[in-house]
């Protein structure tokens, strides 16, 4: 993730303590925090950080393409730092846990020309739902 900080500097970002902490929180695989979760974790290292800064920074990271937004349940958006490797999401309908997954082939190819209604289609987001091993073990 330190290369993220480098990329941000290259784009003219001011590297503040807040942005550094948020970038650190977003480091890892299968990370899908809500803005409030990011805020709570960031506040562990930098107690005065405000919710507004978290929302601002996340929004900026999204528009730079460094982080993608994921909405799996119609509640809070989640932020996925694994933006440079194309992938989809697998969600447990019991506990809500999210895994990054890579389906075979390009999902776009499954949409025939006759189903495109003249749209210039550029992206497909796939969300798979099921029960994770832990949730499958109980009702």
Partner DNA sequence: ATCCTAGCTTGGACCAAGTCCAGGTCAAGA
Partner DNA sequence: TCTTGACCTGGACTTGGTCCAAGCTAGGAT
Token look-up 């993220």 returns: 4
Q: How far is the CB of 9 from DNA (least distance, A)?
A: 6
Which among its own copies, DNA, none contacts residue 2 (Cβ within 5 to 8 A by kind)?
none
Residue of 76, 108, 111, 121 that binds DNA (CB under 7 A): 76
Using an 8 Å Cβ cutoff, are 93 and 31 in contact? no
CA distances from 125 to 2, 40, 65, 90 (A): 28, 28, 15, 11
Instruction: Answer with the entry of DNA, its own copies, none that 27 interacts with (C-beta below 5 to 8 A by kind).
Output: none
Q: Is 118 exposed, middle or buried (CB count within 10 Å of its CB: 0-12, 13-18, 19+)?
A: exposed
Give least dist CB 74 to DNA, A: 6
Q: Which of 14, 84, 85, 102 binds DNA (CB under 7 A)?
A: 14
Q: Which stretch binds DNA (CB under 7 A): 29-37, 104-112, 116-124, 127-135?
A: 29-37
Least separation, in Å, of the C-beta of 135 and its own copies? 9
Which of 1, 35, 83, 135 binds DNA (CB under 7 A)? It is 35
Helix axes 35-45, 51-63, angle to 10 degrees: 120
33, 39 Cβ separation under 8 angstroms: no
Q: Which of 75, 84, 85, 102 binds DNA (CB under 7 A)?
A: 75
């Amino acid at each position: 993730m330190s290369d993220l900080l480098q990329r941000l500097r290259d784009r003219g970002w001011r590297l503040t303590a807040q942005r550094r902490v948020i970038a650190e929180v977003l480091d890892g695989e299968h990370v899908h925090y809500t803005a409030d979760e990011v805020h709570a974790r960031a506040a562990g290292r930098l107690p005065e950080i405000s919710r507004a800064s978290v929302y601002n920074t996340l929004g900026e990271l999204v528009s730079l393409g460094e982080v993608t937004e994921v909405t799996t349940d119609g509640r809070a958006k989640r932020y996925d730092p694994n933006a440079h490797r194309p992938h989809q999401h697998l969600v447990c309908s019991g506990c809500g846990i999210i895994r990054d997954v890579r389906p075979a082939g390009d999902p776009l190819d499954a949409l025939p020309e006759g189903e495109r209604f003249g749209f210039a289609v550029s992206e497909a987001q796939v969300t798979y739902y099921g029960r994770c091993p832990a949730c499958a073990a109980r009702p």
